[in-house]
């Protein structure tokens, strides 16, 4: 997930001279190892800042539950006990895992939270100097498979059947956090704002001037240009992309989005943007379509008319679902 792919146009607005004065305050924070941006519309700066504090606290709470790299998290405990025993978790974590498995079944494994077992094979932090061998990849994907994740709803437990298995919420976790941040603000009566969880964005309400939020989808071949501008009210938009985080061997580029079935990076698609009511669901779709490709991805989206998508191929073609609304170029320059 690449935050540069979704750009909010015009962050801050102040209309102090109006009868119903509103301000929009923006704050960048680091959560879940990534940059998050939170914008809240409120009557005063003080109120807006207080609401932002609440969103940050909620997202930190979620991070403490599901971040597999935090040894104190419930998911880290599940991973440590892979092949040993089931681990009791909070119902919230259980339900998030259950929804993730739904995506795995829906996509025949193109989306799979047990991909985390491959984290030592492919590295995209600059430390990777040689291509993984076919034997290494074969051994890694032996530990990948959503079919080996066992859920017990009555006991509220997760059991990973194979030793060495790992699950991670690097995809849907940020979308879930964005949804929860928006939900919390709406419960508190906040009329408008944006929660951008490293590219998984939720919006609600309007700018203080009554206009919709404007979000630009970055051209993956030229980050100074937009493919299109989206006008959002109560919406969610996510982008999964392979054009910034990758490694190269023998002149061939390998992206960070791995096909859980083959163990090799997904090919053919540079970015997928999905728009709909939920960032969690939108992220599940955008990640899945990166692996499935345009044809199967569009067929999947057709089953969910509340969601629409824009796909950019590695050849520069822009493909949109039939229900996509917005200005869109047919071909990137």
Q: What is the chain's pLDDT, residue by residue, as a tens digit (333 residues)?
A: 343 355 555 444 443 334 457 899 999 999 998 999 999 999 999 999 999 999 999 999 999 999 998 999 999 999 999 999 999 999 999 999 999 999 999 999 999 999 988 877 888 877 888 888 999 999 989 999 999 999 999 999 999 999 999 999 988 999 999 999 999 999 999 999 999 999 899 999 999 999 999 999 888 888 788 888 899 999 999 999 876 677 888 877 777 888 999 999 888 899 999 999 999 999 999 999 999 999 999 999 999 999 999 999 988 899 999 888 653 433 343
Query: Would you state the pLDDT for residue 119?
Result: 72
Domains and CATH numbers, the chain: 3-63+177-320 (3.10.520.10), 66-160 (1.10.3980.10)
| Residue 205 three-state SS | coil
Whose CA is closest to 109, among 80, 79, 141, 77?
A: 141
Asked if residue 288 lies in contact with residue 240, where contact means CB atoms within 8 angstroms, the answer is no
pTM of the full predicted structure?
0.90
Query: Would you state the pLDDT for residue 331?
Result: 33
Could you give the CA distance from residue 26 to residue 316 in angstroms, rounded to a whole number? 34
Query: Would you state the pLDDT for residue 318?
Result: 92
For residue 28, report the phi and psi dihedrals to the nearest 5 degrees: -90, 140
Could you give the CA distance from residue 187 to residue 179 in angstroms, rounded to a whole number? 12
Query: Would you state the pLDDT for residue 11?
Result: 42
Ranges of H-type helices in 30-90 = 45-66, 74-80
């Amino acid at each position: 997930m690449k935050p540069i792919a979704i750009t909010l146009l015009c962050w801050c607005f102040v209309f102090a001279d109006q009868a119903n004065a509103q301000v929009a305050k923006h704050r960048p924070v680091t959560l879940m190892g990534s940059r998050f941006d939170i914008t809240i519309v409120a009557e005063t700066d003080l109120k807006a800042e207080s609401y932002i504090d609440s969103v940050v606290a909620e997202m930190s709470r979620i991070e403490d539950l599901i971040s597999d790299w935090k040894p104190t998290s419930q998911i880290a405990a599940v991973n440590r006990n892979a092949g040993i025993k089931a681990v009791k978790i909070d119902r919230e974590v259980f339900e998030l895992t259950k929804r993730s498995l739904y995506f795995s079944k829906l996509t025949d494994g193109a989306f799979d939270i047990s991909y985390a077992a491959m984290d030592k094979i492919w590295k995209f932090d600059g430390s990777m100097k040689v291509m993984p061998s076919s034997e290494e990849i074969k051994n890694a994907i032996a530990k990948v498979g959503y079919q080996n994740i066992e859920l017990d709803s009555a006991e509220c437990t997760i059991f990973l059947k194979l030793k060495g298995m790992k699950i991670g919420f690097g995809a849907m976790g940020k979308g879930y956090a964005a949804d929860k941040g928006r939900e919390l603000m709406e419960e508190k009566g906040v009329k408008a704002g944006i929660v951008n969880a490293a590219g998984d964005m939720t919006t609600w309400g309007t700018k203080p001037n009554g206009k919709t939020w404007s979000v630009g989808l970055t051209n993956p071949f030229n980050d100074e240009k937009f493919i299109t501008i989206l006008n959002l009210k109560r919406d969610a938009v996510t982008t999964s992309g392979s054009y910034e985080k990758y490694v190269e061997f023998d002149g061939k580029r390998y992206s960070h989005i791995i096909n859980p079935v083959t163990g090799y990076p997904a090919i053919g698609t540079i970015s997928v943007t999905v728009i709909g009511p939920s960032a969690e669901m939108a992220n599940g779709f955008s990640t899945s379509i990166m692996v499935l490709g345009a044809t199967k991805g569009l067929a999947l989206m057709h089953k969910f008319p509340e969601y629409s998508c824009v796909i950019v191929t590695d050849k520069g073609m822009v493909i949109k679902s039939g229900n996509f609304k917005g200005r869109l170029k047919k071909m990137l320059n």
